[in-house]
Structure 1
Amino acid sequence: MKLVIAGGGTGGHLFPGIAVAEAWRQRAPAPEVAFVGTKGGIEARILPDSPFPLYTIEIGGIKGKSTVEKIRNILKIPASLWASLRLLGRLAPDVVLGVGGYASGPVVLAAWLRRIPCAIQEQNTHPGLTNRILAHFADRIFLAFEPEGSPFPPKKCIVTGNPIRQTLLSPPTAAQKEERGFTLLVFGGSQGARRINEAIIEILPQLAARGVRIIHQTGRTDYERVAQAYRDTGIPDGIATVTPFIDQMAQAYSTADLIVCRSGATTIAELTAIGRPAILVPYPHAAYDHQEKNARRLLEKGAARMILDRELTGKRLLDEILSLLESPETLRRISENAHSLGHPEAADAIVEALLPLAAQRQGITEGAAHEA
C-alpha cells in the first residue's frame, strides 16, 4: 500500500508527517511512502537522509507575504495543481495525507480530483485557511485537540493528538542522568528564535556560574552571533553545545532536565509525549495566536511554565530557570503533568484510520483492472 504525504516547510509540519510515515511502514501491508514538498522547505534538507523519497513542486505561501509575493504565488497555483496531478498519476498512491505547509494544498486537491482517498492533519487548535478549504475535499480530518467551535464537519473528524517520531519516545536511563550535570535545552523551533537567543546570551555568565550545561539550537540566521557570545563568555565546548539545527533531537530531549522553547503544536506534542518540563515562550505573531493558546493549555494543567514574549528578559528567564533548578520536586511534577497530556499513540491512530481508505482504493483499482 502506498501513502503520499504532502506538506512541510517547517519542522512543525514535516516531523508529524515523518511520524506517520514511520508508523505506516510498521503497520501497512507492503508499505511504501513518498513525500511531496518544496525545494525551499526543511524537507529538502531532512528527507534525503531518511528512507522516504521526496518529490517537489513549485508553490509559495500567501499569508504574511508582500503584495508582490502574494500575486506571484497565487499565479503559481494552477501550475502547482497540474504538477501535482501529473505526479500523483506517476506515483499512483492508495491514499494521500496533507500535513500542512505550501505543498499540502495542491497535492490534496489533486488527489480529490483523481478520486484518490485523502485526509488532512491539523496540528493547531485553530485551523488555517488551507485546511479549512481542504476539509471540504478530505475523507478524514485528524485533529490534535478536542474541537472547540471547529469549522470542520464533525463526521469526518478524529481526535488523535499530534504524531510523534518513534526516536523521541525512548526516555533516558537513570545512569545517563547521573553522569551529567543539570542540562538546559534551548531552541526556537526549526528556524530558531531571536528573542530567546538574546535572553539566553544575557544570562550566560550566571548559568555558567551555576554549572548549567547548555544545548542551544540558534537557527541559521543567528548562529554566528550566538556562538560568538558563548566564546566571549568563556564557556568551554564541553559545557555548551551551540548549533544552528539539532539533527539528533531525541538525544537532546533525553539529555535535557529543562527546556526553553516556543510553543508550536509539534513542540507541545513532543514535550507531552515524552514528559519534559519546559519554560514556554509563545511566538507572538503565530496565526490566530495559537502558540499562546497552546502554552496556556499546559500552564493551566501545571504541565509547563510560560513567559510571554513581550515580558521576556534575561532576568525573568533566569529567575524561572533557577527556581526550577533548585526544586527537583517541581520539575518532576511538571514532567508528570506534561506526560499525562501526551498522545504517543497518535501516529498509529492516524495510520489505523488511513488503512481502510487505502484498502478501498485498492479494491476499486483492482476491480477496474479486472473488468478491463
Structure 2
Amino acid sequence: MSAIKVIISGGGTGGHIFPAISIANAVKKIEPEAEILFVGALGKMEMEKVPAAGYKIVGLPVAGFHRKLTLRNLAFPFKLMSSMLKARKVIRQFKPDAAVGVGGYASGPVLRVASQSGVPSLLQEQNSFPGVTNRILAKKAERICVAYEGMERFFAKEKILLTGNPVRNDLLNDIDKHSAVEFWGLDKNKKTILIIGGSLGARSINNGIIETIVKLPADIQVIWQTGKLYYQEMKEQLPVELTSRVILTDFISRMDMAFAAADLVVSRAGASSISELAILGKPTVFVPSPNVSEDHQTKNAMALVDKDAAVLVRDAQVNCLIDEAAKLLTDVQKLEMLAANIRKFAKPDAARDIAQEVLKLAQNK
C-alpha cells in the first residue's frame, strides 16, 4: 500500500503556521510514512518557518483583498487566477489523499481546487466567528474542526467536530519559572509581564506601552516582543534607565521560556494565542486587533471574558495597559481565578484529534 499523501494549505502569520505544523507533526506521529506537502503564500512567514520545521512547501502568488480602496486590489484577480492554476498543477502532480486548510491566503485556491478534483478536505476554523473565505470553503469541506461551541450558526452541524486549536509542541515543555527568569537574565524577585502583539507585532500596543512605560512600578519587569517592523523604533524610545528590566526583542523563538517566566501576559486575541494561553493557564489581558475581518478577535476574547477567564482592554485604550497590568499583579486572588478559568478552555489533544480526522478522510477516499 502506498504512503498516504496530505496537503496542508494556509499561513500568513504564526497563528496559522504553527498550528498547521502541529497538525503535520501529529499526522506523522500516527502515520510515520505519510507524505506531507505545505502550500503557502509567496513572501509570507510560512515560506521560512515550514522548511525550518522539516517540511516541503510550495508558494502561491496569492494576496489578500484589501477592504479599503487601494491600487493593490487591481492585481487581486490576476494573482488569484495565477494561484488557482498553480494550485491545480500542485494537486495534479502531488496527488493528495486529503487536503487541509488552516486559514490564510493560500487556503482558498488549494481547497477549491482540491474539492473540484475529488480530494476530500478538512477545514480548521480557529476563530469563534469565521471569515467569508472559510464560510464559502465549508460548503465543500467534508469535515470542519472548530475551537468554539455554537459554530453550527455558520457551518452544517454534521460536519463539525469540536477539537480546539493545535498548539506548538515546544510550549508543552515543563519549564519552571526560576529557570525561565534566569534564561532571560531577569530578577527572580520581581513580577514579569510578557507583551506579545502577534508574530508580526502590533503598532498600537507598542505605541501604548512605549508612551507609558515610565510608569512601570519598580517591582515589575517586562519581556516585550515588538515585531520586526517596530523593534528599532521602540529600542530608540525606551528610556535607558529601564533597559535592565525591559527585555526588548523583535521575535521570540523560545516562547516556552517566555510563557514560563510570565506572571501575566498582554496579547492580541488571535485564536492560536488564546489556545496556547489556555493550555498554559496564563492570566491574560487581551487587546483585540481592530484590523481583522468581522472583528473576530473581540469575539474570541469575549468568549473568555464572559467566563471570567481573561481581561479585555480595547485597542483605543492601550495607554492604560501598564496601569491595568500593574494593578492585576497586586491582586493574587484574581490572577488565580483567571488562570483556573482560562485552563477550562484548553484542548491539549487538538493536533492529534485533527490528525486522526485527516487520516480518516485520506483512507476513505
TM-score (norm 1): 0.90
Alignment of 1:327-342 (within 5 A): 327-342=331-346
Any conservation in 2 of the 1:260–1:281 contact (CA below 8 Å)? Answer: yes
- Matched residue type, 1:97: V
1:51 — aligned with what? 54
Deviation per CA, 1:349-372, whole angstroms, max 9, x where unpaired? 1111111111123xxxxxxxxxxx
- Residues 177, 222 of structure 1: CA spacing in aligned structure 2 closer, same or farther, 3 A cutoff? closer
Q: Which runs of 5+ in 1 are unaligned?
A: 362-372
Match of 2:359 in 1: 355
The reply on whether 1:226 has 2:229 as its aligned counterpart is no
* Amino acid aligned to 1:262: R
Q: Aligned pair 1:215/2:223, yes or no?
A: yes
The offset of 1:149, in angstroms, is 5.4
Amino acid in structure 2 at the alignment position of 1:321: A
Inter-partner Cα distance in structure 2 for 1:65 and 1:51: 37
* Other structure's SS at 1:260 match: strand
Instruction: Indicate whether 1:152 and 2:155 are aligned.
Output: yes
1:324 corresponding residue in structure 2: 328
For 1:52 and 1:34, the matched residues in 2 are separated by 7
Q: State the SS of the aligned residue for 1:37.
A: strand
1:247 aligned residue: 253
Aligned pairs for 1:257-336 (under 5 A) are 257-313=263-319, 316-336=320-340
- The CA RMSD measured in Å over matched residues stands at 1.9
Query: What is the CA-CA distance between 1:213 and the residue it aligns to?
Result: 2.3
CA contact (8 A) 1:22 1:165 kept: no
Residues 2-41 of structure 1 mapped to structure 2, 5 A cutoff: 2-41=5-44
**Which digits, 9 at most, give the CA deviation of each residue in 1:323-367, with x for residues without a partner?**
222233322221111111111111111111111111123xxxxxx
Alignment match, 2:208: 199
Contact 2:180 2:258 in 1 (8 A): no
Give how far 1:278 is off: 0.8
Shift of 1:111: 1.3
**C-alpha deviation, 1:167, in angstroms:** 1.1
1:189 corresponds to 2:198: yes
Q: Check whether the contact 1:48–1:54 (CA below 8 A) recurs between aligned residues.
A: yes
Q: Indicate the percent of aligned positions where both proteins have the same amino acid.
A: 37
1:78 to 70, 77, 81: 81
Structure 2 portions without partners, runs of 5+: 183-187
> 1:173 deviation in Å?
2.2
Supply the distance in 2 between the matched residues of 1:330 and 1:153 (Cα, whole angstroms).
Answer: 39
Q: CA deviation at 1:267?
A: 1.1
TM-score (norm 2): 0.92
Structure-2 separation of matches of 1:109 and 1:187: 34
Q: Deviations over 1:215-261 (max 9, x none)?
A: 1111122111111122x33223x533212221222221122111111
Paired letter, 1:189:
G
Alignment CA distance shift 1:293-1:171 (3 Å) = farther
For the residues of structure 1 that align with 2:178 and 2:254, how far apart are their CA atoms?
Answer: 20
Report the Cα offset of residue 107 of structure 1. 0.7
Shift in Å at residue 178 of structure 1?
7.9
* Structure 2: distance between partners of 1:80 and 1:285: 25
Residue 270 of structure 1 deviates from its aligned partner by 1.1
Distance 1:168 1:332 in 2: 21
CA distance in 2, matches of 1:68, 1:203: 37
Q: Which residue of 2 aligns with 1:369?
A: none
Task: Check 1:189–1:178 CA distance in 2 against 1; reply closer, same or farther (3 A cut).
Answer: closer
Equivalent residue of 1:33, what SS? strand
Q: Which moved more, 1:22-31 or 1:299-308?
A: 22-31
Q: Which amino acid aligns with 2:358?
A: L
Please name the residue that 1:344 is paired with: 348
After alignment, is 290-299 or 26-35 more displaced? 26-35
1:96-133 per-residue CA deviation (whole Å, 9 max, x = no partner) reads 10111111011111211221221111111221111111
Q: Is the 8 A contact 1:122 1:141 kept in 2?
A: yes
Q: Is the 8 A contact 1:126 1:150 kept in 2?
A: no
Q: Is the 8 A contact 1:6 1:103 kept in 2?
A: yes
Structure 1: how far apart are the matches of 2:166 and 2:180? 26
How many residues align? The count is 356
**CA deviation vs aligned residue, 1:185-214 (integer Å, no higher than 9, x gap):** 11111111112112221332332x523221
Q: For the residues of structure 2 that align with 1:65 and 1:82, how far apart are their CA atoms?
A: 27
| Structure 1 residue 21 displacement after superposition | 1.2
Maintained 8 Å contact 2:123/2:143? yes
- Given that 2:146 and 2:160 are in contact with CA atoms closer than 8 Å, whether structure 1 keeps it comes out as yes
Distance 1:54 1:34 in 2: 6
Supply the distance in 2 between the matched residues of 1:89 and 1:149 (Cα, whole angstroms): 33
Cα deviation, residue 7, structure 1: 0.5
